[in-house]
Structure 1
């Protein structure tokens, strides 16, 4: 099972945890037929995945934004995922929702690799501002820049302007792309975001 998971691009550590969890759920079960085994293993796998992916505490973004405001700092969300899963589009949808809940948003154009990424965010920002009278700002530095430094600068600007939320767009990357994963790790370590969203379809 672990080999199958790792061959499907599941990282070694979560694959190990899933296998251990499934093994613990199956240990000591008496099963009569082979078809019954497949059903029980599938159910044990489902339970293990739900357990692994369930947050330790209830996520309430609006509550957490309010807490960040009381600390006089912006609430920071980083959007991650592979190419083409809709990070920028989901970022725009969440921006709309945040605006509907009376939060000002600064979008940091941290995808400094993909051609057209900054222009896409400019378009989203223009449309969102047409709906919510300039409650969204875009921070960009063009292409080829260090995303961690860009995000840090955006967070500092948001703090100075008393903007409630910073949403950081990132370049699409596969988890086996070492240079891009290293850049993502630096971005997260440097900026200590409140939430990292992994967008997947």
Structure 2
């Protein structure tokens, strides 16, 4: 059973991201504020849920949440910043868009950059411990999946509709054969192993 809140008597936003390990596409983060005393026993880490269940829960979260928002950082920004900074920036962008101002933030993982002067807690595997973080993980994952499926229509050779930009064998073989798209993260080891690509072409 996931816990309702970390802080007592504070409006807290749960944050999580999706897409850190991908070779292509933006990184997405979500911020979710759930009502006080909220309890949805079906909420869980998005990776533990079926695709169908994630999308069902997305609708429920968006209906039930006090506030929710999604923040995006592009592949170009990831290359400029590095993926850790980009992931944290995506969380800040999500928090910026919340229609209700949080009084505290809880984050999946062990790294965060303070958001204004709000208290915050980093919680390893927090998406399996706190409902607001689990809700954020579901929103970040499903909205990013939708985005990658959209990009797949433009670049079907990379099979993004299936791999969502992650480094599968088929994805890397397509990079070797076709080169990179404008959505690939040039700062990543796109081919794996010792092989490198020339990005000057």
Q: Provide TM-score, normalisation by structure 1.
A: 0.28
More helix by percentage:
1
TM-score, with structure 2 as normaliser: 0.28
**Highest CA radius of gyration, 1 or 2?**
1
